Amino acid sequence: MMKRSYLLIVGLSCLILNSCFEDQDDNLISASEINDFVWKGMNAFYLYKDNINDLANDRFETNEEYTDYLNSFANPEALFETLVYLPDDVDEFSVLFPNYFELEQILQGTSLSNGMEFGLFRYPDGSDNVFGLVRYILPNTSAEEKGVARGMIFTEVDGQQLSLSNFQGLLFGSNTTYTISLANYLNMGTEDSGDDMLEPTGTSFELTKTAYTENPILIDDVIERNGINIGYLMYNGFRSS
């Protein structure tokens, strides 16, 4: 599970909006109510609104033009994606939640987790393959129980090589249990990373996600150096009140 900060577009499954595009206009729009909610939420709160032409206050001259625009998208997700500013470079964190209750749980620190916190990296050979590097393990989780540790590298999930096209489904899909296969990173004794390789170790771990409420303070310690006490705190999350 990778940490993210979110632009919160919430309550899509439970809010029904019959609002007018023009404040003083009594004619209701005849478009997807959720698409209407997404656009108006982004128009009101989005940090990068000024960079998105379709979010401009004067973008639509009439209700009909606005309605046609909303109806041109097959679903709210498709609309939302067009309103996010440079998602691969600038805004990597905005996300649309279809389930309000799932979002509430996340904000309260509860989510499905197997306890393995990791980062993903592309293979050094320039291919679309990726590998995972374990950054740390959450206490009292499946990963801790199985012996997964910081610094371990994995290249496969359920026997499938991780790649740019499948890692989302394999690691963040609906499956609550999956098996990771470990590998060693070999630098081949050279300074050129282009010839680095990943070699399977034959070791695997089956990990299971369960509902987990994370303590936002993962580590608190006092480190003594040359007679000086240094406080160390690893703060891992923010909670909504």
DSSP string of 88-115? TTT----EE-S-HHHHHHHHTTEEEE-S
Region 74-87: mean pLDDT is 91
- CB contact at 8 A, 13 and 100: yes
Owner of token pair 């046609």: 68
Q: Is the pLDDT of residue 202 over 80?
A: yes
CB 152 within 8 A of CB 144: no
Residue whose tokens read 């805004």: 91
| pLDDT band, very low/low/confident/very high, at 15 (cuts 50, 70, 90) | very low
Residue 96 or 78, more confident: 78
**Partners of 104 in the beta sheet?**
none
- Residue 49: the pLDDT is 96
Determine the residue type at 156.
E
Q: In 3D, which of 87, 90, 75 has the Cα closest to residue 38?
A: 75
What pLDDT is stored for residue 89 in this prediction?
A: 81
Mean per-residue pLDDT, 203-217: 91
pLDDT of residue 235: 84
Q: Alpha-carbon distance 232 to 136, whole Å? A: 16
Q: Is residue 2 scored above 80 in pLDDT?
A: no
Which residue(s) pair with 197 in the sheet? 186
Q: How far is CA 64 from CA 27, 101, 160, 182, in A?
A: 10, 34, 48, 56
How far apart CA 86 and CA 11 sit, in angstroms, is 25
Question: Cα angle vertex 46, ends 40, 49, to 5°?
Answer: 90
- Which pLDDT band, with edges at 50, 70 and 90, does 8 fall under? very low
Alpha carbon distances (Å) from 153 to 20, 130, 147, 156, 210: 53, 11, 13, 10, 22
pLDDT score, position 105: 62
In sequence order, the 6+-apart residues with CB closer than 8 A to the CB of 14 are 100
